[in-house]
Amino acid sequence: MKPGAGCRIGLHQLSPGSRSIVAFTGGAALPGIDKSPAAESMNMAVRVRVWISGLVQGVGFRWAVEDEARAEGVTGWVRNLPDGRVEAVFEGDEVPVRRVVEFCRRGPALARVDDVEAVREEYSGEFEGFSIRR
């Protein structure tokens, strides 16, 4: 799929002060995250929970996400779900978290990512590193 082809993007504010819900497929950017040079110089701490579907189990997806998150300095965890999806929580500066979410859209070489749903949650700072949960 070419970047931007077949993309579905939705950003919904549920109510004042509630979390943003973001869904995207294909080459879509993560709505709600400013990619401008000015914004990149003013990182703020964010938390994003993602659910990745497709051929994402048994292909090294969790290990690849762990490597990517650690390389970007992002904390949190990743795990397989019984329904065949992968779930992850990422916390850190906005730009590195965005990069890890973008990596999830591609995945490792053997994976096939069909869809990524991302929900922005309140940052907690609860993680000391990044881990694979079983």
Ranges assigned E (strand) in the chain: 10-13, 20-24, 45-55, 75-80, 86-93, 112-121, 130-132
Q: Which amino acids are annotated catalytic?
A: 62, 80
49: left (phi over 0), alpha (psi -120 to 50) or beta: beta
